[in-house]
Amino acid sequence: MNRHFDKIDVGSLELKDQVVSINRVTKVVKGGKNLSFSALVVVGDSAGHVGYGMGKAREVSSAIKKGVEAAKKNIVRVPISKGSTIPHTVTGRYGSGSVLLKPASEGTGVIAGGAVRAVITAAGIQNILTKSLGSTTAHNVVKATVDALTRLKQPERVALLRGKQVSDIISDTKHRRSTMEQRPSPPRAATADAPAAEGAPAETGLAAVPDAPPAAVPEG
């Protein structure tokens, strides 16, 4: 799916970098072994802008510096609604990684860990529920989280495309959430430990046998 991204002036942003993972790579050559490092870095201004990048070098500091420069070229804008959360539920995917993001109420905090937390905090989201459903590799998780954030849509833009008011879009979303939460669960089948509901015939493996008088004993 092709998504349009607005051009962002990186020079006007106060970006902070955070190292997600550092991997040591050893390459065996004819003359011996070459040791290098690869660093995965996330940058953000905690105000709706976040990006990621990877750098490789013979030294850790050089790898991190290259990762920061690469991350600044991949900055994306994240829509943040009132309450410092995301507008709606979204799922991001990259490779075998899949990350689910759900909006949360004020005071919930960032319910995330590892690479997902690094991206969420860099973007400036303060209340959110997350769940990593696929690969646990840091690269896949970071890219899947950023993919989920780029799929978010602002209520104003959706209302403009649908020809409605912003209040109508928000009310429709709340009604859909409440409908899903109030959906009744399917009845469970009766088991030996849990008998069937009152008024329903109980199924047993023995057929009902009418009471019969005891057989007469012949006199000897």
For the chain, where are the E strands, in sequence order?
16-29, 32-44, 49-57, 76-77, 90-94, 97-103, 110-111, 128-132
How many Å apart are CA 43 and CA 17, to the nearest integer?
Answer: 4
* Residue 43 token pair: 């940058």
List phi, psi (to 5°) of 187. -65, 145
How many Å apart are CA 148 and CA 185, to the nearest integer?
Answer: 29
Cβ burial 4-40 (10 Å sphere, 16+ → b, else e): eeeeeeeeebebebbebbeeeeeeeeeeeeeebbbbb
Mean pLDDT, rounded, for 141-169: 76
How many Å apart are CA 141 and CA 95, to the nearest integer?
Answer: 9
Name the more confident of 137 and 166.
137
Provide the pLDDT confidence category of residue 220 given band limits of 50, 70 and 90.
Answer: very low
Distance set, CA 215 to CA 78, 210, 212, 218 (Å): 87, 15, 9, 9
How many Å apart are CA 127 and CA 121, to the nearest integer?
Answer: 10
How many Å apart are CA 97 and CA 29, to the nearest integer?
Answer: 33
Name the more confident of 163 and 171.
163
Model pTM score: 0.69
For residue 42, the SS3 value is strand
For residue 181, the SS3 value is helix
Name the more confident of 28 and 204.
28
Provide the mean pLDDT of the chain. 79
Q: Looking up tokens 């550092």, which residue turns up?
A: 22
Provide the pLDDT confidence category of residue 146 given band limits of 50, 70 and 90.
Answer: very high
